Amino acid sequence: MKIISYNVNGIRAAIKKGFLDWLKAANPDIICIQETKAHKEQLELQHFENYGYPYHYWFSAQKKGYSSVAVLSKIKPNHVEYGTSIESMDFEGRNLRLDFDDFSVMSLYLPSGTNDARLNFKLNYMDQFQGYINNLKKEIPNLLICGDYNICHEAIDIHNPKQNKNTSGFLPIERKWIGNFMQSGFIDTFRFFNKEPHNYSWWSYRANSRNNNKGWRIDYCMASEPIRNNLKRAFILPEAKHSDHCPIGVELEF
């Protein structure tokens, strides 16, 4: 079972850059997409079915052209959960979960903290999300949460930790939260298999950052502890260039 997560920074723009051909070649069983910036009525949904994904689900922000997540699957899910049922979280379309026989997978797009107001929104969202997941794990212990967390965990996950210590995405309070999230029973699957530096999933469009590999690792496939022994591989795919992010992924065996 190969699962990929990808913040595409606009699904329509990504398609114009060859996303669908890349998807066919990468051939995941499931792909979690963040920041689609689209409502499904704005898309040619037949494209996804033609490329091998008959089951596709979209949870969009109330505001058009903003945020929004999706999951495309080759396998029919048993259940699809749109959002969290927490009104203050769901209006921006940031959580979508598919339940299968052996596990559940969520596409997550945590807010960024681009200014004081948004940072406060992000911190509140993170607190509510932790509570939501604490309860969800009681019902669904085998849980994979894939997406853009908008947080670097450790210094190894960012190209210039000293310079960025006061930048949202690497603030002490954000780093502490994601550390506590892992301690609550989740595995950073990429670090589970790979301890090497200079592995990133997002690069600024400025200053030729991607070509110089001056990036941040803010995208994760977090696996709940009960599926630790099902983890077979985790990876980052920096050669895919349809976005300012690149895809990440994990392989599971049940």
According to the model, what pLDDT value does residue 92 have? 97
Q: Is 219 a catalytic residue?
A: no
Q: Is the pTM of this model over 0.95?
A: yes
Number of domains in the chain: 1
**Would you say the C-alpha torsion 123, 214, 196, 161 has a positive or negative sign?**
negative
Instruction: Measure the CA–CA gap between 40 and 58, rounded to whole angstroms.
Output: 6
User: What domain range includes position 216?
Assistant: 2-252
Instruction: Measure the CA–CA gap between 13 and 182, rounded to whole angstroms.
Output: 33
- Residues 159, 216 contacting (CB under 8 angstroms): yes
Residue 126, H or E segment: helix 116-139
CATH of the domain at 131: 3.60.10.10
29, 101, 102, 148: the catalytic one is 148
Long-range contact set of residues 200-203: C-beta below 8 Å, sequence gap at least 24:
200/157, 200/158, 200/159, 200/236, 200/238, 201/236, 201/238, 201/245, 201/246, 201/248, 202/7, 202/148, 202/244, 202/245, 202/246, 203/244
pLDDT digits (tens, 9 = 90+) for 94-106: 999 999 999 999 9
What are the angstrom distances between the C-alpha of 136 and each of 1, 42, 96, 132? 22, 32, 13, 6
According to the model, what pLDDT value does residue 200 have? 98
- Residues 170, 151 contacting (CB under 8 angstroms): yes
Instruction: Measure the CA–CA gap between 16 and 21, rounded to whole angstroms.
Output: 10
According to the model, what pLDDT value does residue 138 have? 97
40 CB burial (10 A radius; 0-12, 13-18, 19+): middle
Each residue's pLDDT expressed in tens, for the chain with a length of 254 residues: 999 999 999 999 999 999 999 999 999 999 999 999 999 999 999 999 999 999 999 999 999 999 999 999 999 999 999 999 999 999 999 999 999 999 999 999 999 999 999 999 999 999 999 999 999 999 999 999 999 999 999 999 999 999 999 999 999 999 999 999 999 999 999 999 999 999 999 999 999 999 999 999 999 999 999 999 999 999 999 999 999 999 999 999 99
Six-digit token string for 25:
């070649």
Helix (H, G, I), strand (E, B) or coil at 45: coil
